[in-house]
Amino acid sequence: MPFVARFKSLDPVIVGLTLGLLVFGLVMLMSATGPIGIQRTGDALYYVKHQLLVGIFPGLVLFFLLALIDYRVWRRLAFPALIISLLLLVSVYVPGIGIKVSGSHSWIHVGPLIFQPSELVKLTFLIYLAAWLANRQQSETHNARTGLLPFLCALGAVMALLILQPDTGSMAVIVGTSLLLYYVSGAPTMWFISLAGLGAGMVALLVKFSPYRAARFMTFLHPELDPQGIGYHINQAFLAIGSGGLLGLGYGHSRQKFLYLPEVEADSISAVIAEELGFIAMVLLLAAFVALIWRCFKIGRHAPDRFASFLAIGIGLWVALQTAMNIGSMVGLLPITGVTLPLISHGGSAMTVMLAAMGMVAGIPRRLGKRIEK
């Protein structure tokens, strides 16, 4: 198939929504990060330039490259993807490669490249899980010995390495996405309920034996207890969102971005959006994410094989869960875990990997030989 024809065969809804969210995110990043950019680097556009250079540009290259590659190649590379996932998570402890930031071993440094392995693991482990589910009969997958136990072993290894870093946010996204995809594949409802209960119990243990996590959890339950200490972040987010009202203060007129609200470039950018553009804009933003997620599900439902189906649905679940965790934490429905808003927040690793994942989904309909109805 000629290159132009292959390009035109990509799913137009995925391409359009992805590019639209990218542009919107870049515009909001320009507004949200001006003050912090000046304070840290002397350049108001530093975070915008950095996002373009290490996030969007390489991400778009991967988006279109992976969209044009036959997705079936990833099925054959599923087990190496799992091994790569585990090696990347171990590499953060290798002297000279791993970097400790804010008490967390979550980054690696190779030459000029600084990367967060857990972001790539969100995709590589999902590829492995999609292939694992597709390669087995349903009776095997949902048998306790041949299905549940191998699933828990693989997921448990990834989970343990993320707990040690610690990276609670990425762990929650990977575990949540994996459990939901396993359930969607047809696992018994009682298994899903039991696994969800087991996960909640493990979270409770982590909170109990980690003073920092315990403080975060208490802040989630009672944000008014320590507004100048551990509760500062969520209270400033409440102020930003509350002051935005229905129509917002206007683009560029956020008050909280002037070094009051922490992490305005990352997990708090949704609060700045609500402050500047208001409730209606946030509803429209959520509608765009819902449309993107629904399209992933629809592509998965019409996919030419089980692997493509599980991959598209899994990526949709990933976007849904991470979006819910980010916005939910800013409005006090969930604890703050540092999870970024997909395709919007600043972050080279997160942006590049998310664009690569969306490219995979955009290329699946090419194998059908026809476009999926909108």
pLDDT given at position 71: 87
Give the CA dihedral 211, 217, 219, 220, nearest 10 degrees: 170
**Residue 27, pLDDT score:** 95
296: closest CA among 6, 15, 9?
Answer: 15
Q: Mean pLDDT of residues grouped by 10 in the chain (374 residues)?
A: 64 94 95 91 90 92 91 88 82 78 71 80 91 75 68 81 80 89 80 74 66 61 61 84 90 89 88 93 96 95 90 96 92 82 90 95 75 63
Peptide bond into 117 cis (omega under 30): no
Residue 303's pLDDT is what?
Answer: 87
pLDDT value at position 203? Answer: 67
Residue 243's contacts (CB-CB under 8 Å, 6 or more residues apart) are 249, 255, 256, 275
**Integer Cα distance of 349 and 120 in angstroms:** 7
Q: What per-residue confidence (pLDDT) applies to 147?
A: 65
pLDDT confidence of residue 333:
81
* Lookup: tokens for 270: 């949704």
pLDDT of amino acid 229: 59
* CA-to-CA separations, 132 to 14, 74, 159, 367, in angstroms, rounded: 25, 12, 18, 21
Please report the pLDDT score of residue 213 as a whole number: 61
Predicted TM-score (pTM) of the model is 0.89
Pairing of strands 104-110, 98-101: antiparallel
Cα–Cα distance for residue pair 125/362, rounded to 1 Å: 19
Give, in order, the Cα–Cα distances in Å from 72 to each of 1, 67, 68, 333: 17, 12, 12, 39
Beta bridge partners of 99: 107
Please report the pLDDT score of residue 298 as a whole number.
94
Token pair for 122: 């969100």
At position 297, the amino acid (one-letter code) is F
Give dist(CA 227, CA 89) in Å, integer. Answer: 35
- What is the model's pLDDT at position 287? 96
Alpha-carbon gap, residue 144 to 137, rounded angstroms: 13
- Per-residue burial over 77-101, b if 16 or more Cβ lie within 10 Å, else e, is ebeebbebbbebbeebeeeeebeee
Domain residue ranges in the chain: 3-76+137-368
